[in-house]
Chains A and B, each alone.
Chain A
Amino acid sequence: MSGYTPDEMMAVEASRRLADGMVCFVGIGLPSLAANLARRTHAPGCVLVYESGTIGSKPEELPLSIGDGELAETADAVVSVPEMFAYWLQGGRIDVGFLAAAQIDRQGNLNSTVIGPYEKPRVRLPGGGGAPEIAIGVRDVFVLLRHARRAFVSALDFTTSVGDNVRVVVTDLGILEPVAGELTLVAVHPGADPDQARAATGWELRVSDDLRETAPPTDAELTALRALRTKGAAA
C-alpha cells in the first residue's frame, strides 16, 4: 500500500496530533476524517464534539453534515446549540478545535467570509459559523488547508477568526507552526520540498533551520482511513 493522496496525508498527520482523551471540536470533511481516524487508531478515547450538539459521537461512517443522525445516536450526550456554545465551548471544556478557511495569513488569522470587499464581494463564502468563538474558546486550534497562493495570502480580504491559538497548520505540502509569532514551515511531507511551499505561499515563507520530513502514512493508518471514507467526506 505505497500510494496515498495529499488529503490522506493531511488527515493522517492531523490525527497523529490528537492524543487519547483529548476533547475535539470537529467540523465536517477533513477534520472529521482526522478525528475519527485518531479514535480508530492511537486515540480510542478521543472525544468528538460536533457543533450541532453531539458530545462523544462515535460514528461508524463519516457524516456528510455536522448534524447527521448517526452523530446523535452514537453520542454520550446530545445538547441544544445554545448549551453547546455557552457551557461547553465558552465554558472551556474543549481542548482542540479544527478550522478551515478560504484564506490564512502569516499570523494564522482566517477568512471564511468573503473574497473581495464585504459590501460587494467577488465571492460570498458561507461565513464564520462557529469559527470566531472556536478560535478563542479552545486551547489549541489546528488548521487544515491545502497550500496555494490564493489561500496563503499576505493580507486577508476579511478576518473571520483570529490566529492567537493556532498551534499548527497542516497542508498538502507540509506543516507550519508559529515561531516567534509567524507561521513557519517546520516539516515537509515525503516528496515535497520547501521551494514548493514557498511558491504556494503569498508571503515570504520562513523555513525552519531544522526542517523535518513527515513520516508517510503507515499501512495501518491508511487501512483505517479508507474504511471510514465510505460515505460523505465531501471536503
Chain B
Amino acid sequence: MAVVSLRDAVRELVRDGDVVALEGFTHLIPYAAGHELIRQGRRDLTLIRMTPDVLYDQLIGMGCARKLVFSWGGNPGVGPLHRLRDAVEHCWPLPLELEEHSHAGMAAAWVAGASRLPFGVLRGYRGGDLPARTRVATVTCPFTGEELAAVPAHRPDVGIVHAQQADRHGNVQLWGIVGVQKEAVLASARSIVTVEEIVDELQPRPNAVVLPSWVVDAVCLAPRGAHPSYAHGYYDRDNEFYVAWDPISRDRDRFLDWMRRHVLETADVGQYHASLEEAVVA
C-alpha cells in the first residue's frame, strides 16, 4: 500500500474491461474516484453496486459501462436515473447488460466474495420473476433439507470505496453507515480507498470499520470526495444536488454539457468543487 494520487491509482489499477465496484450505501459514495474513471475514459466496465445512484448514472451516460450488476437503481427520494433508463430503453450511448438481484442477494454475494466462498446463501428470491432473469440457483441444506437460494460471489477486479480517514501508513477507518464497503474491498483483487483526511494516528470510533493497510492497494487523498453524498462527521448529504440532478440528467445534451464542465474539464476533486461553486455564482 502507498498513499498516491487518485490519478495514478486509477491509471495503474483500473483497466478497460474490468469488473469494478464503487460501493457506498447512500453514505461515503466514492464520487471523486468515479469521476477519475470518467476523465481517464475507461470503457467496457462491468459495474457492481447495490444501489447505483447518480455516480453510476454519470458513468453509464459517459459510456464507461458494458454491464451493470445491481439491486436498486434510482435517485433516492427523487425519481429514476435518466441515464440508466436511456441506456436500457434506448441503448444510449451504448447498450447496457443488466444482472439484477435483490438487496439481500447482493449482500450475500458480497459476504461470499470477501469470504472467498463460491456463493452466498439466503432465504430469498422466492416466487416472483427475478430468479428466471438473473444468476441465482437453489441449494438444498444437507442438514435440514430446506431449499435455499444461492447467489454467485462478487469477485471484482477492483473495489473502490471512500472513507473518512487514513493514517500515513495507509490504514483506513470509516464509520457511520458502513454499508458493504468492507466486503467490497475484501472481495476484490485490487482496491482503492479515497479518504477525506490523512491523520497522524487513527482514533478509534464507535461502530468503525478498520481496513489495515495490507488489504488496500492505494490510498488517495480526496477531500469532499463523496459529494453529493456525505461523509459522517465531515459534511452533510447535498440533498439539493440530488434534486437538481433530475432535470440535468433528463436531457442528453444538458447532461453532456454538465459532465464536460464539472468532470472532464476539471483535473481533480478540488477543481470539481471549484467548478460547482462557480456555477452557483454564475
Residues of A at the B interface (CB closer than 8 Å) are 28-29, 51-54, 63-69, 71-72, 78, 80-82, 84-86, 89-90, 109, 113, 118, 121-133, 136-137, 158-162, 164, 231-232, 234-235
Contacts and interface: CB of A to CB of B under 8 A. Distances in A.
Interface of B: 25-27, 50-51, 70-74, 76-78, 80-81, 84-85, 88-89, 100, 102-105, 107-108, 110-111, 122-130, 133, 176-180, 182-183, 207, 209, 230, 232, 236-237, 239, 242-243
The 3 closest A-B pairs by CB, nearest first: A67-B26, A129-B72, A126-B74
A83 to B, nearest CB: 9
Contact of A64 (B128, B178, B239): B239
A159 B103 contact: no
A64 B122 contact: no
Contacts of B242: 64-65
A81 B25 contact: yes
Nearest to A67: B26
A65 B237 contact: yes
A113 B176 CA distance: 30
Contact of B236 (A51, A69, A125, A235): A69
Contact of B102 (A122, A133, A164, A234): A133
B183 to A, nearest CB: 6
Contacts of A85: 103-104, 107-108, 122
A132 B76 contact: no
B124 A132 contact: yes
B102 A124 contact: no
26 contacts: A53-B178, A64-B239, A67-B237, A80-B179, A80-B183, A80-B209, A81-B25, A81-B103, A81-B179, A86-B108, A113-B130, A124-B84, A124-B85, A125-B80, A126-B80, A126-B81, A127-B100, A129-B103, A131-B102, A132-B125, A133-B104, A159-B128, A159-B129, A160-B129, A161-B127, A162-B128
A207 to B, nearest CB: 28
A150 to B, nearest CB: 16
Contacts of A123: 85, 89
Contacts of A90: 104, 122-124
A54 B177 contact: yes
A78 to B, nearest CB: 5
B76 A86 contact: no
Given A85-B103, A133-B122, A67 B88 contact: no
B77 A69 contact: no
A81 B128 contact: no
A136 B180 contact: no
B76 A78 contact: no
A132 B106 CA distance: 12
Contacts of B104: 85-86, 89-90, 130, 132-133, 137
Given A52-B25, A127-B70, A29 B77 contact: yes
Contacts of A54: 177
A80 B23 CA distance: 13
B235 to A, nearest CB: 9
A158 B129 CA distance: 6
Given A28-B76, A69-B232, A86 B102 contact: no
A55 to B, nearest CB: 12
Nearest to B233: A69
Contact of B76 (A65, A81, A158): A65
A72 B103 CA distance: 19
Max count, chain B CB within 10 A of own CB: residue among A51, A84, A125, A235: A51
Nearest to B123: A90
A78 B178 contact: yes
A132 to B, nearest CB: 4
Contacts of B128: 109, 132, 159-162
A118 B88 CA distance: 10
B50 A66 contact: no
B27 A52 contact: yes
Contact of A136 (B71, B126, B130): B126
Given A86-B107, A136-B123, 8 more contacts: A65-B76, A78-B207, A80-B178, A81-B103, A129-B103, A133-B104, A133-B105, A159-B127
A48 to B, nearest CB: 14
Contacts of A125: 80
Max count, chain A CB within 10 A of own CB: residue among B77, B125, B129: B77
A120 B178 CA distance: 35
B72 A53 contact: no
Nearest to B131: A132
B107 A81 contact: yes
